[in-house]
Amino acid sequence: MSSHPKNGFERIRHWWIGHPYWSLALLTTAALAPFLAKPFSVDDPLFVWAGQHIQSHPADPYGFQVNWFGSRQPMWAAMLNPPLMSYYLAGAAILFGWSEIGLHSACVILAVCVVLGTYRLAQNFCMKPWLAALAALFSPGFLVSSTTVMCDVGMLAFWIWAVVFWTEGTKQPSLLKLAISGVLIGMAILTKFSAICLIPLLAAFSLIENKIIGDWLAFFLIPIGILVAHELLTLDLYGYPHFFFANDFAQSHHTNLIKAFTTLTFIGGCFATGLLCSPYLGGRMFWFLIGCGGISLFALAILGGLMAKNYHWIVGHTRIAVEIQILLWSTAGLGVLVLAFSEAWHKRDANSWLLALWVVGSFIYAAFFYFMVNARAILPMTPAVAILMARRFEQNLTVLPLGLRLSLVASAALSLLTAWADCQQAKGVRETAELVCSKYSSRSGRLWFQGHWGFQYYMQAKGARPVDFANPQLTAGDFVCSPELNSNEFPLNPQNSTLDHVFSVHNFPWLATLNDKVGAGFYSSHWGPLAFTIGHVPPEKVSVHALKDLSPDVH
């Protein structure tokens, strides 16, 4: 009898199983397709502007001025990331153009590379690699990050394939694969400097696997050489080595216990799959440790004021809801760390130690070395967490029960909703910029604006000018618009200005990724202690003031 499936559903299932790479690529593309028209937001404009400059000055990626922090400064000082992502966007724009759809389409390729890399690595770590790939794809931190044109997902694409080639090259062994990995590490560093953490991570893996220092150590000279060459180039172009400048900026921001606690909370939210699938992840010891840890976190949060202590503007019922979510997600974040530790403790092989050091190292970097807590800082641990979950499911289950499948579906739904809320907020920012410029384009006074991020991108595209606080050129009769939710803004002197109009656009009503009023700070914990917040979300507002005879005191 023929073994070929007879009905349509079985044919699709048979093809899916037989072509995992194509299946995962199509699924990733389908998951991100609804967000291809998402407006540029947060730091997206920096990468777009650098890419546009690269097309005309390919040897000088940051050789222009930008007003990003409230006054004009060199781009290399405003941009704390290396330029490889902007080179990628410059190349992609040749094919797809500079539209949102064109650049987001190019970035889908990077997300696909991450998911496929997770699958490839998981093949050597567990029996159900597709489960790890799906867990990575449908984590809120990864899915939302994949809807931006910033460098984080691109860096992770180089990162995961560097790990793939390094682990395979160490076990086989293969000098060619180690060399390829060395180049990929270098490319990851040129995409985002934090990828330098790959060097100690993979060195530890090789040392545990081989028990001795071997020829593999020499291949780290490749990424080190790439970084040194980049530093010499930026020193020649801009008078300062870029990596050291970014590192000095990071070290100027202090770390404390609250920052570490917030990092745990972000880990729990960004990997919500772990919480939703938690009944299937651990045995008695796992739950005992989580219980003890959760009680300890609760005590620290209540007695030590670690919850919304630094967010005094969150009040009333919203504050209670935020603090409940903080306790929930911080306990889930602790569970991710316990999962990593327990895996290494029980198996004690090179693979388990790699995953554990990957997760714990990412936590330490985000909590104690990165200059702020945000989802982008912990994004590199995504493949490791996903593989750890897949390994634990295999250990505890012989078949995947309906409850676990429903939990995975719920995680995918939450991730898609979070990405949709983030997309709706970006659309609201663009809409307010268009409303402001449309209303004031025919007025006699010049239109200025405060704030940056995507709002700046669309305001400048419509002809408005950013206020330069170091050299304000404001005169009577001008208008200054100020978004309620943005960065690097200063209050106008009410004696020198009058409120002319307030624009308001509704966001996604009950979930937010960046809103200080509800404690959501996906892109920066300065705005809130949660990666995303479930609760009532107020509308997006922009105020426009008319200037009087005296220039406003913007200081």
Q: What is the pLDDT of residues 324-374, one digit of tens each?
A: 888 888 888 888 888 888 888 877 888 999 999 999 999 998 888 887 889
82 upstream amide cis, omega within 30 of 0: no
Kindly report the length of the chain. 555
Q: Kindly state the DSSP code that residue 546 receives in the 8-state scheme.
A: E
Q: For residue 267, give both structure tokens.
A: 């880990």
Task: Quote the radius of gyration of the chain (alpha carbons, Å).
Answer: 24
* pLDDT digit string, tens, across residues 93-125: 999 999 999 999 999 999 999 999 999 999 988
User: What pLDDT, on the 0 to 100 scale, is given for residue 229?
Assistant: 94
The H or E element spanning position 323 is helix 316-347
Q: For residue 532, give both structure tokens.
A: 């995303």
Confidence of residue 555 (pLDDT cuts 50, 70, 90): very low
* pLDDT digit string, tens, across residues 39-60: 999 999 999 999 999 999 999 9
Task: Give the bridge partners for 158, in sequence order.
Answer: none
% the chain with pLDDT above 90 = 50
What's the chain's average pLDDT?
Answer: 86
Is pTM beyond 0.75? Reply is yes
User: What pLDDT, on the 0 to 100 scale, is given for residue 273?
Assistant: 81
Pairing of strands 520-521, 514-515: antiparallel
Residue 2's Cβ-count burial label (10 Å; 0-12, 13-18, 19+) is exposed
Residue 555's Cβ-count burial label (10 Å; 0-12, 13-18, 19+) is exposed
Cα-Cα-Cα-Cα dihedral sign, residues 20, 22, 28, 33? negative
Give 88 or 304, the one with higher predicted confidence. Answer: 88
Q: For residue 152, give both structure tokens.
A: 């984080």
3-state per-residue secondary structure call for 13-45: HHHHHHCHHHHHHHHHHHHHHHHCCCCCCCCHH
Distance CA 415, CA 269 (A): 10
Tokens 């009577």 found at? 476
Distance CA 355, CA 357 (A): 6
